[in-house]
Structure 1
């Protein structure tokens, strides 16, 4: 296995290992791309360091697989991506921050204009130059975050005095409830987006995130923007996840110890041993992205790890640097000091962990591995 340059120390000095399979990311992109008709392009959202998996490595792998359009959040991410993908189309979803238009033009980055003030600033730039600089325009269809209101969108795009020479390279909106396809909000947003952009249907349009891709062709338009599905996450709730896992988190065992029945485990004494236990303490905690909320108490179970096919429940609170696992029923030779334990990966889905932590797999992925050795290799 090969390690990227940011690993500054020998493997033995890390308490855990984050393995990322960029070929699996490409496989997931091809799976989604194959669901589109010939009129739609499959782009990729690689914001937040490609959901924690490495923007540089993932971006290069996806470009090699055929992806040509990428979405990040902030201009700094876009500039960093441009350094490794000189020929890609790159959009910054968070729009045009004050004073940044020069950097967008210098690095050929396309802002997603999400307010009337941003549209006016960008069109002013185009008017002053007498040419159209590429940018997307975001219309809010009900999520009430970024985006022009439908009225602002209609008024602005229909007024040559506002637009000047500017011709948007993309018109887009964002689904609020894609993870639950039966939610009426999806159809409402689809209908509004279709209606408000109909006078400009000659321009490329984009509505679908990962869930929108899986929801079918009505949502695909010209460009789809999958994110979580590329990284093996579950885009649609309560349905089988068709995506391939791309990341595996392993933590090393520091100590194995016996805990008598009736003793408590971890901070707050929240978990009481109901029988004599054998515990393994591993070198991972919430500082490594293993969320504190997935710990256990006497009232509710916590998450779990896997050791060679054996489930090892989390016992007590997850602390900053360590987690206690119940390995009572795991063969002793598998839980020796220094051995690796799978905390998340092919056998411990991020969505399963997220359910114990009352969150979503996005939060797990984007928080991972600040102190782990990072390895790019197939998951084994």
Structure 2
């Protein structure tokens, strides 16, 4: 094969495998759809569908009945449009200056979150002689994007709303996963006031955690994201979602080190006794978080990175490097582990939430950092 020629890397040849269960993804969407009552269930597919791939995830959800998708960037929306020609696609990060013609070309809807964006979209629609659709975003407590509630209420009767079609009123929960946080009630009340000011326009407030709140703030459309991909939308309770992502990496070398030997860059892990180590073909260049590094002495670390080797949990030893992770496999019988074996880094008890916790971050970051070097496999059962 010439150096310039690219070819698909088979799973048997890959350093690491990313397994994506599209059947579980669809099952999660259906569960959230059913919990949303009569509201439409959309899907948030930003960040390359939370690392699972827009080109596979969007068609799977569309086949299951999902008709509305949310992305963050224009480039993501164009990719989604290519695989879902008839879907409704909203772009959460708004309307970059001078891009309205691209939105119109691909039949995309900006989420307008400022008076400047409303001005530009209305002016473009007037010039085109078409009332193109858009969402209008209201800030009810996040202080990130969107019109303030007073600015939103002041839009009532604004002539610019005659130039385009406000197809959706939106806001976003700041703390929906915290059941007793009073901010949730304030946001629901503020958004309800916005809805009353603009009767007849559908409203959307609930993210994944919001869908499962006791108040059922579903309005007309819900926007699940993280939970679709197996993350727990109710962190103080058992996860009702099915896992979607599994990650395995291949052992490329086994070795034994003596007591007192250090491992990895700067010897930040030290063997207290004779230990057997496995080196995995994965690192932070693949999106695996470097803060998962096993730092200290063997036998002292339990809350950092972990792999499941032959069914047994095994801690990381030393720093996560660019392309490699070292795992202490001393407790695995020698006849149960060999070069070439696949070990689990996401799967079973190592959920995306657990992997995030061990890295000092959140499962969202684990998912959205999933690398492009993995050989990806897809299951489409139960769709």
TM range (shorter): over 0.9
Corresponding residue for 1:71? 70
Compute the displacement of 1:287 (Å).
0.7
Aligned partners of 2:153 and 2:197 also within 8 Å? no
| RMSD (CA atoms) | 1.7
Aligned partners of 2:173 and 2:206 also within 8 Å? yes
Compute the displacement of 1:123 (Å).
1.5
For 1:149-203, what per-residue CA distance to the aligned partner results, in whole angstroms no more than 9, with x for missing partners?
A: 11211112x1332322333100000111122222121111111111222121321
Task: Map 1:142-221; keep pairs closer than 5 Å.
Answer: 142-156=141-155, 158-221=156-219
For 1:276-327, what per-residue CA distance to the aligned partner results, in whole angstroms no more than 9, with x for missing partners?
A: 2111111011111110001122275412111232111111211111111111
Task: Map 1:11-26; keep pairs closer than 5 Å.
Answer: 11-26=11-26
Task: Map 1:187-336; keep pairs closer than 5 Å.
Answer: 187-298=185-296, 300-301=301-302, 302-336=304-338
Aligned partners of 2:301 and 2:315 also within 8 Å? no
Compute the displacement of 1:36 (Å).
1.7
Q: Distance in 2 between matches of 1:333 and 1:165?
A: 72
Q: Distance in 2 between matches of 1:94 and 1:178?
A: 21
Q: Distance in 2 between matches of 1:286 and 1:326?
A: 18
Corresponding residue for 1:3? none
Aligned partners of 1:178 and 1:236 also within 8 Å? no
Segments of structure 1 that go 5 or more residues without pairing to the other structure are 1-5
Compute the displacement of 1:14 (Å).
2.0
Task: Map 1:102-181; keep pairs closer than 5 Å.
Answer: 102-156=101-155, 158-181=156-179
Q: Distance in 1 between matches of 2:292 and 2:255?
A: 22
Are residues 149 and 10 of structure 1, via their aligned partners in 2, closer, same or farther at CA, if it must alter by over 3 Å? same
Aligned partners of 1:280 and 1:324 also within 8 Å? yes
For 1:114-137, what per-residue CA distance to the aligned partner results, in whole angstroms no more than 9, with x for missing partners?
A: 111001111222333444211000
Segments of structure 2 that go 5 or more residues without pairing to the other structure are 1-5
Corresponding residue for 2:3? none
TM-score normalized with structure 1 length: 0.94
Q: Could you tell which deviates more after superposition, 162-171 or 299-308?
A: 299-308
In the comparison of the two structures, how many residue pairs are matched? 372
Q: SS of the residue aligned with 1:187?
A: helix
Corresponding residue for 1:377? 379
Q: Distance in 1 between matches of 2:341 and 2:153?
A: 61
Q: Could you tell which deviates more after superposition, 346-355 or 298-307?
A: 298-307
Aligned partners of 2:310 and 2:337 also within 8 Å? no
Q: Could you tell which deviates more after superposition, 345-354 or 57-66?
A: 345-354
Compute the displacement of 1:7 (Å).
6.4
Q: Distance in 1 between matches of 2:243 and 2:37?
A: 25
Q: SS of the residue aligned with 1:34?
A: helix
Aligned partners of 1:126 and 1:164 also within 8 Å? no
Q: Distance in 1 between matches of 2:65 and 2:367?
A: 24
Q: Distance in 1 between matches of 2:274 and 2:338?
A: 19
Aligned partners of 1:7 and 1:374 also within 8 Å? no
Aligned partners of 1:287 and 1:370 also within 8 Å? no
Task: Map 1:360-375; keep pairs closer than 5 Å.
Answer: 360-375=362-377
TM-score normalized with structure 2 length: 0.93
Q: Distance in 2 between matches of 1:261 and 1:306?
A: 24
